[in-house]
Structure 1
Amino acid sequence: MSDANALKDQGNKAFAAKRYDEAIDLFTQAIALDPSNHVLYSNRSAAKAGKKQWTEALEDAEQCIKVNPTWSKGYARKGAALHGAQRWEEAISAYEEGLAIEDSAALQKGLKEVKEAAAAAVGNDEGATGITKMFADPNLFGKLAGNPRTAPLLADQSFVNQLKLIQANPTLAGNSFNDPRMIAVLGVLMGVDIQGATRPEGSNEMPPGFGSSPFSAQPGPSSPPPKPAAPQPKKEPEPEPEPEPEDEEAKEKKRAKTEADAEKAKGAAAYKAKDFDTAEQAFSKAWEISPTDITYLTNLAATYFEKGEYDKCIETCEKAVDEGRSLRADYKLIAKALGRIGTAYSRKDDLDNAIKYFSKSLTEHRTPDILNKLRDAEKVKGERAKQAYINPELSAKAREEGNAQFKAGDFAESVKSYTESIKRDPNDPRGYNNRAAAYNKLAALPEALKDVETAIKVDPKFVKAYIRKSTILFAMREFTKAMEAIQEAAAADTEKQHTREIEQQMEKVAR
């Protein structure tokens, strides 16, 4: 997917410039083109982590693992997202899962950092920072519900409300440690059995190993002076995300594409020199090396076409269309392959399939060349259909049926019969002349005039057509033209078989 790789490269550049929104958008576009590319999910996870969008970063990391569960860097992404969300134990598990696949320095570093951050958060005697972070954990209630000691406490809505208040402002936790339930909560958050230590109800004494509450009131005069607070451990920085470098698979694809393009160039040169055998070998090899560009196939089909191997041309173009669909190739390339199929069918004199594929090509992309080929094929097909329909005997039969209908005064039906007669034998002027008479009776004078002119064109010596023309022009009050037509009838009647009809029409027009 060359387009997806280009978008990925642009996304990496935007990420390097800390333009995280732009990077996310570019990686998203790339994923739409190539949803099976695990590296794209990894890179988008990194960009979301750059914006501190830990939940979204985690979703992409998990999708990366789903697409390719054997790629250790996906677990590094997951660990980094969980680290940023301060879900220490889950982050540690993610890094350890990755290390089970590959003992990489990046995973070791991430695991070390998250363990140090978790230790700093707990911080035994080192101030309130660790405790406040524990109560600020967004997964607070999930952890409590999953522990048999604290799960029953969540049935008390007032206690739940108190926890929510502390979660919103963890510095209030110190005022609640006289409640043994809060000690149980703290133990679950710390992962130690604080509940194992007992103290009197209302006592502020903290369990052994935990030290004095950092939130307790200042000691009275009788109390020994407090020890100076130990320095806060330096907070480990959140993991800085990095886009994945181009993996070996992508590098191999680029190398193969370069080699295939070289074969394509060799084939094009041979094609121009009309060395079609060499061109065929080069284009075939290009597709074998890098089956990602259907121009290799359409070019190969062109060589088969020039060699007169039309079936191979069609087969190769059909493969180009199928592969192009799966590769989401440019619709213009799909149209070109379909058009070439149509041209091959034209050479095979299979006009039905030629028209079918020319039409398909125009649906993908409209070009004048294919449109003209479609019209030519349809014209030839129409002419052939007309020729195949010609049958003088059936023409005469249809004309006789029309004559009977005309005499019965059924002029509309007679038009249909005469039309069938014309189709069966378009070179017989009688069909046109008789239909003109029926049109005249129906007062369709323009159609009648057109038919007699066609009859004269088919047979310039057909006297009855001239007489009919004069009659129609007279009805249209074109008296001069009517006289000219009857004079033409007289000139055509060399054997004087229609003298009486001609003289009667002349007298009628001359009045």
Structure 2
Amino acid sequence: MSADELKSLGNKAFSAKDYTTAIGHFSKAIEIDASNHVLYSNRSASYASLKQYTEALADAEKAVALKPDWAKGYSRKGVALFGLGKHSDAAEAYQAGLKIEPENAALKQGLEDVENAMANEGLGGLGKLFGPDVWTKIASNPKLSPLLAQTDIVQKIKDIQANPSAINMYMQDPRMMTLLMGLMGLDANVATADADEAPAVVPEPAPAAPAASSAPKQTPVPVAKEEIPEVEMDDEETQKKRKRAESDKHKDLGNAEYKKRNFEAALKHYDEAWKADETNVAVLTNKSAVLFEIGKYQETITICEQAIETGRDLRVDYKLIARAFARIATSHHKLGNLELAIKNYNHSLAEHRTPDTLNKLRELEKEKKEADRLAYRDPKLSDEARERGNELFKNSKFSEAIKEYTEAIKRNDQDPRNFSNRAACYTKLMALSEAEKDCDAAIKLDPSFVKAYIRKAAILFTKREYTKCIDLCNEAKERDTEQKHTEEIENQINRCMFSLNQIQQGDDTETQKRAMQDPEVQEILADPVMQTILQQMQQDPRAANDHMKNPAIASKIRTLINAGIIRVGR
């Protein structure tokens, strides 16, 4: 499989929370394409989900090294460092990502979580006392263990474990202070309730009233806000800023003209914008949109290639690069270059995966498959392949004949003879399922093609489905308007009747024993509806005629007749 196919499998496994399988798929994909930063990022996420943070960090750093301007790589790195307890380093990773993508919600949340953790670490270390082993410490301390019977204290301990800063809310509870002293190894008298009694409820103290004072109220002295000196830009920075402002002004004018569908005017403004600042890559992608609208697809491709080359040098947003690849793909599609269109859609998805681009790729792949099929179609070559297959069939070289008939089908899948002849080969090789499918395909193409009916009837006979075989032979007789195959059809019906008669006259016990080993027979007999119908048929044999009018019931009754469960003519 390709790296993209393995990545897709990995993503599915990750979504199903099968992280170990996901890691396996991503690892195989990396063996094929070790330069794809997304693969390392996805594997990092899988490792982190298994709390294997060392491996997650290694992959995250690789993703960042391959694509330093990709914000998600820093997010993966932050998660791994956070998991390893390296909070300061995790914060730096999140901050580095936010420099690239300031509004990234995941990076913002990650940084906030790290800062909260760092703040909790600073609470005198008290939060660390409530680690996973706190229950063992409390239970092993005779003065603290009675607290485990008090549900409100137990809940408070759980709250602090979930959020160490919650300790501030519970410090007014004297039992909590005693608990802290005990956990720190200090002696204290613990006020507890008997385990069999309801825990004592400690009321929250009312806020203290301000003490009366005759001293004059002092006005707080305002603290002067520190002035932050403005950083002076050098001449080069000033020039860059001026160029970008001029470029953006023309770009906005071009956008306005584009919306009005004044394409010539829009192109002039975009050209002016690019002259003003040749680092403003968005100008090129906007210009390519205009060229696409007016049908200049080759020029669109050239401009987009320029945008990609310039954008990579300047490390612009990967979404911009993805947009340029997608427009190259749509241009190639318009020009009829389906293979190049598919290739560029894949490049776009590698930069930034969007549902719209993915849907376009899938539709294009279907279109190319159909185009390839039609391009390969040649009825003359199909006939030649079928004739070669016929010669091989006569010489009993059935496997080689199948290859030729398959080639004939590829060259012309509208000729029922190709399917019928291949079915004959499959039947000789006892590949009855494939043979039956080919007969069905031939009948679907030409419902009057009697030979296909006869071949399918032979398959049903071989499968000991005698009643179905008889029904199909009767249908073949109706289709055989010129009565060319009457004798062949009648012979097949007679063989079926003889075989059914043998079953009917066989030993009842042995026949039923064999029949009950058939899963299909077991399922029919276990059906309450069929049980009722069989009882009706036993009481009144004429009831069978009414039930046979229902195709589904008729099929099940034939199966039971075939198996010898239902006896007829006795």
Q: CA deviation at 1:367?
A: 2.1
Alignment match, 1:442: 429
Query: How is 1:231-380 mapped onto 2 (pairs within 5 angstroms)?
Result: 245-380=232-367
Quick one: distance in 1 between partners of 2:262 and 2:464? 71
Alignment match, 2:439: 452
Q: CA deviation at 1:369?
A: 2.2
Match of 1:389 among 355, 376, 385: 376
The answer to which structure, 1 or 2, has the higher relative contact order (CA under 8 A, 6+ apart) is 1
User: Is 1:428 matched up with 2:415?
Assistant: yes
Q: CA deviation at 1:347?
A: 0.9
Alignment match, 2:456: 469
Deviations 1:20-49 (A, max 9, x none): x99xx79x969x99xxxxxxxxxxxxxxxx
- Judge which range, 390-399 or 326-335, deviates more: 390-399
Kept after mapping to 1: 8 A contact 2:377/2:412: yes
Quick one: distance in 2 between partners of 1:476 and 1:250? 84
Q: CA deviation at 1:508?
A: 2.0
- Return 5+ residue gaps in structure 1 as ranges: 4-20, 34-241
Quick one: distance in 1 between partners of 2:315 and 2:469? 68
Quick one: distance in 1 between partners of 2:466 and 2:276? 81
Kept after mapping to 1: 8 A contact 2:247/2:280: no
Quick one: distance in 2 between partners of 1:451 and 1:243? 81
Q: CA deviation at 1:487?
A: 1.8
Q: Secondary structure at the match of 1:419?
A: helix
Quick one: distance in 2 between partners of 1:278 and 1:243? 40
Quick one: distance in 2 between partners of 1:477 and 1:364? 58
Quick one: distance in 2 between partners of 1:247 and 1:478? 91
Quick one: distance in 2 between partners of 1:444 and 1:283? 65
Quick one: distance in 2 between partners of 1:244 and 1:261? 24
Q: CA deviation at 1:323?
A: 0.4
Alignment match, 1:479: 466
Deviations 1:179-229 (A, max 9, x none): xxxxxxxxxxxxxxxxxxxxxxxxxxxxxxxxxxxxxxxxxxxxxxxxxxx
Quick one: distance in 2 between partners of 1:393 and 1:256? 65
User: Is 1:507 matched up with 2:480?
Assistant: no
- Return 5+ residue gaps in structure 2 as ranges: 1-68, 70-87, 101-228, 499-570
Alignment match, 1:409: 396
Q: CA deviation at 1:381?
A: 2.5
2:403 partner letter: K
Deviations 1:73-122 (A, max 9, x none): xxxxxxxxxxxxxxxxxxxxxxxxxxxxxxxxxxxxxxxxxxxxxxxxxx
Deviations 1:421-455 (A, max 9, x none): 11122111111001111111222111111111111
Quick one: distance in 1 between partners of 2:361 and 2:241? 39
2:396 partner letter: G
Q: Secondary structure at the match of 1:409?
A: coil
Q: CA deviation at 1:316?
A: 0.5
Q: TM-score, normalization: structure 1?
A: 0.51
Provide closer, same or farther for how the CA distance between residues 479 and 263 of structure 1 changes in structure 2, counting only shifts above 3 A: farther
Query: How is 1:142-157 mapped onto 2 (pairs within 5 angstroms)?
Result: none
Q: TM-score, normalization: structure 2?
A: 0.46
Provide closer, same or farther for how the CA distance between residues 366 and 465 of structure 1 changes in structure 2, counting only shifts above 3 A: same
Alignment match, 1:399: 386
Q: CA deviation at 1:248?
A: 2.4
Q: CA deviation at 1:456?
A: 0.9
Alignment match, 2:476: 489
Q: CA deviation at 1:462?
A: 0.5
Provide closer, same or farther for how the CA distance between residues 481 and 322 of structure 1 changes in structure 2, counting only shifts above 3 A: same
Q: Secondary structure at the match of 1:495?
A: coil
Provide closer, same or farther for how the CA distance between residues 446 and 245 of structure 1 changes in structure 2, counting only shifts above 3 A: same
Q: CA deviation at 1:408?
A: 2.1
1:451 partner letter: D
Q: CA deviation at 1:317?
A: 0.4
1:443 partner letter: M
Query: How is 1:185-224 mapped onto 2 (pairs within 5 angstroms)?
Result: none
Q: CA deviation at 1:244?
A: 6.2
Quick one: distance in 2 between partners of 1:284 and 1:452? 64
Tell me the matched-pair count. 282
2:371 partner letter: R
Q: CA deviation at 1:463?
A: 0.5
Q: CA deviation at 1:320?
A: 0.3
Q: CA deviation at 1:299?
A: 0.6
Quick one: distance in 2 between partners of 1:440 and 1:472? 7
Quick one: distance in 2 between partners of 1:336 and 1:482? 59
1:278 partner letter: A
Quick one: distance in 1 between partners of 2:379 and 2:248? 61
Q: Secondary structure at the match of 1:374?
A: helix
Q: CA deviation at 1:461?
A: 0.9
Please give the root-mean-square deviation of Cα atoms over the aligned residues, in Å: 2.8
Q: Secondary structure at the match of 1:507?
A: helix
Deviations 1:357-415 (A, max 9, x none): 22222222222222232233332322222222222232222212212222222211111
Provide closer, same or farther for how the CA distance between residues 255 and 477 of structure 1 changes in structure 2, counting only shifts above 3 A: farther
Rg: which structure is higher?
Answer: 1
Alignment match, 2:136: none
1:492 partner letter: R
Kept after mapping to 1: 8 A contact 2:257/2:263: yes
Q: CA deviation at 1:324?
A: 0.6
Q: CA deviation at 1:332?
A: 1.5
Q: Secondary structure at the match of 1:246?
A: coil
1:424 partner letter: R
Q: Secondary structure at the match of 2:243?
A: helix
Q: CA deviation at 1:314?
A: 0.8
Q: CA deviation at 1:243?
A: 9.9
Quick one: distance in 1 between partners of 2:450 and 2:96? 77
Quick one: distance in 2 between partners of 1:485 and 1:315? 62
Provide closer, same or farther for how the CA distance between residues 294 and 478 of structure 1 changes in structure 2, counting only shifts above 3 A: farther
